[in-house]
């Protein structure tokens, strides 16, 4: 899985998926929509085929503080990163985070899966 900058390499890959080799992107496109709190990065190999996909977004809500002043809080955040493998499958890592609930708890989870097509 070498050839990518360390920040783009997947970490925590389950052992049964770790033997696959990634196709290395040589150029990237970056898209951002600040009003929607969304960002997307696509990476392409030397032939112009998409081999890397990353997107993240946040959902927010407005709350009142003790002084009756509104403030915005992130209630859900998701980040999905996918790498094209030499086998033609996509190794996809999804991290989801749920904001503070009524109990004051937040929780997040990450999972890996192999997919036949690039996540959209």
**Domains of the chain: which residue ranges?**
6-115
Q: Is 8 helix (H, G, I), strand (E, B) or coil?
A: helix
Strand ranges for 1-120 from DSSP E: 27-33, 38-44, 50-64, 70-84, 90-98, 107-115
Least confident of 13-22, 37-46, 50-59: 13-22
Tens of pLDDT, residues 54-95:
999 988 888 888 888 898 888 888 999 999 998 999 999 998
Output the pLDDT for position 46.
Answer: 94
Round the average pLDDT of the chain to a whole number and report it. Answer: 82
- Whether the per-residue pLDDT at 111 is higher than 70: the answer is yes
Question: Is the pTM value of this prediction over 0.85?
Answer: no
pLDDT tier, 51 (very low <50, low <70, confident <90, very high otherwise): very high
Nearest to 86 by CA among 1, 5, 27, 26: 1
Q: Is 34 helix (H, G, I), strand (E, B) or coil?
A: helix
Output the pLDDT for position 3.
Answer: 47
């Amino acid at each position: 899985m070498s050839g990518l900058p360390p920040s783009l390499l997947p970490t925590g890959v389950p052992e049964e998926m770790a033997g696959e080799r990634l196709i290395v992107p040589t150029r990237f496109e970056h898209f951002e929509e600040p009003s929607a709190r969304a960002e997307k990065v696509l990476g392409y190999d030397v032939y112009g085929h998409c081999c890397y996909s990353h997107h993240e977004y946040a959902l927010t809500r407005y709350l009142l503080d003790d002084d009756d002043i509104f403030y915005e809080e992130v209630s859900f955040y998701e980040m999905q990163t996918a790498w094209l493998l030499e086998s033609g499958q996509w190794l996809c890592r999804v991290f989801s985070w749920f904001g503070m609930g009524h109990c004051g708890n937040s929780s997040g989870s990450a999972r890996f899966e192999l997919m036949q097509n690039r996540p959209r």
